[in-house]
Structure 1
Amino acid sequence: MGDDIRKVIQQLIVKVPGLYSIIISDRDGVPVLTVESDKAPEVAMRPSFLSTFGLAIDQGGKLGLGKTKTLICTYSQYQVIQMNKLPLIVSFIASDSCNTGHILALEQQIDPILNNLKLAVVET
């Protein structure tokens, strides 16, 4: 199952020019599945960086903004898009010139994959 999921996610990376990696992690930033290209920045794939999304969605809820679905951060050379699929977090790391809309459109294709992974995470 893991290799099949990895292949599907690798195909998604190839579809979007400038997309460097897709990381599926738990709320604490522990990677469950990582697929990356050679251009992926090491610092953005660390659990300490990935876990900040969990803190950000908590703060948004405290402000009364409702449930956070997606967080988009842009930096000088990269952009990071993180999707709330609790108990999983999906992080997309891309170049600053990558089309953000294309990455957001991947949500429909990645949701069926996550259903199998969610069951595995909840059981453990």
Structure 2
Amino acid sequence: MTLPNLFAHIDDIEAILILDKDGIPILKLPTNEAVDQLDLQTLLPSAQILQDQSSRMNFKKLKTVVTYWSARQIITYNVSPFVFIIAADTNVNTGALLNLYSDFQKIAADHLTTTA
């Protein structure tokens, strides 16, 4: 599945932000303005703190973090070397959004094999 197809596949996804391992935005969908308006990048430090605390407590590495913010759900996916952040309406099935992790793994693997 390609990233633009996610909008057609799951209704009410508002925005997708992809960051590299340094937290620099790589891609903003559907537009830069839509992602910037939601200010998704400000949520990344909170997700990173959760991941750090999880590793200190000897839990496995967090793959996803689900938060609810301003009448939307924000899901952060840690797919090395990328971080995918999705903003969706609270009516969207959270399980369907969590299942996107495997799609993001395929996208990251495809990117790594094409750049190698």
Scaled by the length of structure 2, the TM-score of the pair is 0.79
User: 8 Å contact 2:81–2:108 — kept in the other structure?
Assistant: no
CA RMSD of aligned residues (A): 2.6
User: 8 Å contact 1:23–1:90 — kept in the other structure?
Assistant: yes
Q: Deviations over 1:42-88 (max 9, x none)?
A: 24333x33343222211111122221111100124111111111221
The reply on whether 1:115 has 2:78 as its aligned counterpart is no
Runs of 4+ displaced beyond 6 Å: none
**SS of residue paired to 1:21:** strand
Q: Deviations over 1:73-123 (max 9, x none)?
A: 0124111111111221111111111111111122222322111334688x8
Q: In the alignment, what sits opposite 1:44? A: 39
**In 2, distance between residues paired with 1:91 and 1:81?**
6
Q: Which amino acid aligns with 1:44?
A: D
**In 2, distance between residues paired with 1:24 and 1:120?**
18
Structure 2 gap segments, 5+ residues each: none
Q: Deviations over 1:13-67 (max 9, x none)?
A: 2211111122211244311122126865724333x33343222211111122221
Q: In the alignment, what sits opposite 2:47? A: 53
Query: Identity over the aligned pairs, expressed in percent?
Result: 23
2:63 aligned to 57, 61, 69, which one?
A: 69
Length, aligned pairs only: 115
Scaled by the length of structure 1, the TM-score of the pair is 0.74
Change (3 A) 1:41 1:98: farther
Alignment of 1:72-87 (within 5 A): 72-87=66-81
Change (3 A) 1:115 1:84: same
Mean alpha-carbon deviation: is it higher for 84-93 or for 21-30?
Answer: 21-30
Q: Which amino acid aligns with 1:53?
A: A
